[in-house]
């Protein structure tokens, strides 16, 4: 999670919402990919940290199926990212802060609990949640000050 937090800070430094993600092979502890939010800079609404990390991992491994890997992300995934996680067959998702407004794992549609979801990873939430949430709060507080 510390590496994901560093990626989130990198996103914030570029004016992107501070969310970071890491794909890890739990058998070897190898970091397969690191992603940071980048929709603004990439001009790509799908460039969420999770999607960026999943794309990098799939390219590196030469397979779109990332079965048995772990995705660590600083914020509860949204519906789009939850769908991508399911399609990638990620084995486990670990997230930091919950997202009552946009999250889709423990909030909103609870994507992995839906009967139409074909792959359900193990989910662990709340890992370094306060640090993840504080990074987001600080980012948006600073943006409001600039606009105010």
Binding-site residue numbers for Zn(2+) are: 48, 78, 81
Binding-site residues sit at 48, 78, 81
Nearest to 46 by CA among 81, 22, 21, 18: 81
**What sign does the dihedral 11-16-18-20 (CA atoms) show?**
negative
- The Cα 73–Cα 20 span in angstroms is 6
Q: Which of 30, 50, 131, 134 is catalytic?
A: 50
- Measure CA 122 to chain center: 15
Q: Is 50 a catalytic residue?
A: yes
Q: Catalytic residues, which ones?
A: 50
């Amino acid at each position: 999670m510390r590496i994901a937090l560093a990626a989130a800070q990198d996103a914030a430094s570029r004016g992107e919402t501070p969310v970071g993600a890491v794909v890890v092979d739990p058998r070897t502890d190898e970091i397969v990919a690191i992603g940071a939010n980048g929709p603004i800079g990439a001009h790509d609404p799908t460039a969420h940290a999770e999607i960026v990390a999943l794309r990098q991992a799939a390219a590196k491994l030469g397979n779109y199926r990332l079965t048995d890997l772990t995705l660590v992300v600083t914020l509860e995934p949204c519906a789009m990212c939850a769908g991508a996680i399911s399609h990638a067959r990620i084995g486990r998702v670990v997230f930091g802060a919950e997202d009552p407004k946009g999250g889709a794992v423990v909030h909103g549609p609870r994507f992995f609990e839906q009967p139409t979801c074909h792959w359900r990873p193990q989910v662990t939430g709340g890992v370094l949640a306060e640090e993840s949430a504080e990074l987001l709060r600080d980012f948006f507080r600073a943006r409001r000050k600039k606009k105010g």
